[in-house]
Amino acid sequence: MIPSTPEILARLIAEPTVSRMSNLALLDHVESLLRPAGARIERFSHPDGSRANLFATVGPEGAGGVVLSGHTDVVPVEGQAWSSDPFTLTERGGRFHGRGTADMKGFVAASLRAALLAAARPLKRPLHLALSYDEEIGCIGVRGMIEALAARTERPALCIVGEPTEMRIATGHKGKRALRACCHGQEGHSALAPKALNALHLGAAFIQALQARQEALAAHGARDADYDIPYSTIHAGMMRGGTALNIVPGRCEIDFEIRNIAGDDPADILAGIAADAEAIAAPYRGRFPMACIEIEEVSGYPGLATRPDAPAARLLARLLDDETTLKVAFGTEGGLFDQALGLSTAICGPGSMEQGHKPDEFIAAGQLERCDAMLARLTEELETAA
């Protein structure tokens, strides 16, 4: 008997697949469900072998078909006050609570059930599942799988990324670059502070420059009214430096990000930030030759800008009987499937990101039911495809 979506979800939640931790036990369970149904399965592993992507297919061989894309990793629970064990699925008042229920193991569970049901049907086009790792830390893990698929002549046609949209069709999100600025000064005794170069002071000036760039984007940058924040943003999230109060710090690190709308080139924004960094450090270089602010990219992913009349959006409109589209504030792997694989891609999944990453994260039972219904209609489409 094919398990229900909540039954599958309970097993997925039981695996604490926090980013950078192993997801292999979860993938083993996925394979134990799919292989007896005849699914063709491949894994694409992290170099150290501790975690992997999984790509599974049911239906006929060959090109075409639809990819259901979801990530298996979740954010940590440390420091959060949960009412129940975050890694035990708990139902309360029509809501399923647990880490990852909304973001996004609910969709993964529904996709697995859909694949099991579809495997027994005479599909004319294949149904694919793409399960990734380390999405929450910059869409890092999926790249190995995408590179392997890009090298093939036969590829799927469409991709549905099942991030939580309350089963609405999302056609866009901003791109992201996560960056680190390393400020180099000169250490010294704090009693002789003017004879040294305080790296934290360089960092403070750098953050002021980031604020000025943000204000310029807000006032004069490109606009996309479909977003809650209709312009590109720059955000400083962490600052580290100093070892003791009586030591002038010689090094300071600042982690910051750029989230850009399609109308802005993040390379142009970063070039302006790099010019600011040089302008801050250059006046000190006569006395302190080492003075500089180096910027490196830590991670990033492209934005998604799918037209409402694109094949993936049209497919979802048919499945949901709703042509309304929106754009989401959070990032996804959708831009990588779109740009690196050339798949028409849209985002649609159960639950709300308002519940993600929080204590007592949940997904409503009705959302899972709506997702099951959509995927059942997708199977019918694949069965009757020309």
Task: Give the pLDDT mean for 35-55.
Answer: 97
Residue 60 pLDDT > 90, yes or no?
yes
- What confidence tens digit (pLDDT) does each residue in 270-290 have? 999 999 999 999 999 999 999
The pLDDT tens digits of the residues spanning 131-158 come to 999 999 999 999 999 999 999 999 999 9
Please identify which of the residues 15, 73, 163, 264 carries the catalytic annotation: 73
> Can you give the pLDDT at residue 385?
79
Question: What tens digit of pLDDT does each residue of 339-358 get?
Answer: 999 999 999 999 999 999 99
Q: Of 103, 134, 135, 361, which one is the catalytic site residue? A: 135
CA–CA gap between residue 110 and residue 4 (Å, rounded): 8
Region of 38 please: left (phi>0), alpha (psi -120 to 50) or beta. Answer: left
Whole-model pTM: value is 0.93
**Using alpha carbons only, what angle is made at residue 96 by residues 92 and 98, rounded to the nearest 5 degrees?**
110
Nearest to 174 by CA among 232, 93, 242: 232
Nearest to 97 by CA among 320, 360, 373: 360
The first and second tokens of residue 339, run together, are 């740009």
Active site residue 372: no
Tell me, what's the pLDDT at 226? 94
Can 135 be counted among the known catalytic residues? yes
Residue located via tokens 């959070």: 330
